[in-house]
Amino acid sequence: MNYLQRFRVSPEAKVKLKEIDPSFKDVHESDESAKEEIAHFQNRLRELQDLLYAERRRSLLICLQAMDTGGKDGTINHVLGAMNPQGCRVAAFKQPSAEELAHDFLWRAHRPAPARGEIVIFNRSHYEDVLVVRVHNLVPEQVWTRRYDRINDFEKGLVEHETHILKFYLHISKEEQLKRFKERLDDPTKHWKISESDYKERAFWDDYVSAYEAALSRCSTEHAPWFIIPANHKWFRNLAVARIVVEYMEALNLKYPKPAADIEHIRREYHEAKEA
């Protein structure tokens, strides 16, 4: 089974994250044995992005969600960073600004959505409004419960305008998160990533699990699927995400557009200039 199907959340699924092994690593035993395959999919991703950019008919939106230390930045750096920045950009969803709060919750997601030919990566996303908002009771329950349907409609609207959507939940264990917090504490180059809120949020782990399970179950659709990626092993996370994006883009049958110029005429002019 290809990864596109293997890690996809089916529209009728009722997700239980405790039933999914975050340490799964398939056939490879280490990052060393997976290195060649990861490089292959990175190179292929670069080729496919070039086709998408040249074609200028469709776009791709990639959403990354995870618990703190789940690997969103690492995925962007090691996998999606292989792409040409001319046709790829990242939109980070931090605490909403005053301007964003003055609009409906999807306003800040619509603005950075990709134009035709672009790939845009959401580092966190519009799903924060059914995750942190739900866990910390920032809006009434009757408000956030209506947002699942609004999110599905929003994503369907993007798809109808030729934006393809892939959503990845990077699945780590609570123990792995604690290990990564310690690595940050022990590495001075990562101290800038540390905040008091990271550790305080661990107390809400079970609440976040419930919120993610609801979002993954209610918002994995045929047009905008969720993928649950085992992410305790960073190298396997990188391999799985790269492979899924490649498998998806290959199925789009992307093609370079026909040249607007008369290539044969320009070729003749070139040879005449060379012989002159």
Output the tens digit of pLDDT for each of the chain's 276 residues.
Answer: 799 999 999 998 999 999 999 999 999 999 999 999 999 999 999 999 999 999 999 999 999 999 999 999 999 998 888 898 889 999 999 989 999 999 999 999 999 999 999 999 999 999 999 999 999 999 999 999 999 999 999 999 999 999 999 999 999 999 999 999 998 889 888 888 777 777 788 999 999 999 999 999 999 999 999 999 999 999 999 999 999 999 999 999 999 988 777 677 678 776 777 776
pLDDT in tens, 177-228: 999 999 888 988 888 877 777 778 899 999 999 999 999 999 999 999 999 9
- DSSP assignment of 179-209 equals HHHHHHHH-GGGGGG--HHHHHHGGGHHHHH
Residue position matching structure tokens 């924060």: 128
DSSP character for 96?
Answer: P
Beta bridge partners of 166: 62
* Biggest CA-to-CA distance, the chain: 78
Using alpha carbons, select from 94, 91, 155, 92 the residue that is nearest to residue 120.
Answer: 91
How high is the pLDDT of residue 72?
Answer: 96
What is the enclosing helix (H) or strand (E) of 63? Answer: strand 59-66
How high is the pLDDT of residue 270?
Answer: 65
Chain-centre distance for alpha carbon 276? 54
Q: Is 183 exposed, middle or buried (0-12, 13-18, 19+ CB in 10 A)?
A: exposed
- All structural domains of the chain: 3-275 (3.40.50.300)
How high is the pLDDT of residue 224?
Answer: 98
Entry pTM? 0.94
How high is the pLDDT of residue 35?
Answer: 94
How high is the pLDDT of residue 265?
Answer: 66
How high is the pLDDT of residue 80?
Answer: 82
How high is the pLDDT of residue 155?
Answer: 98
- Residue 243 CA to residue 253 CA, distance in Å, equals 16
| Cβ proximity of 94 and 108 under 8 Å | no
- Residue 50 CA to residue 39 CA, distance in Å, equals 17
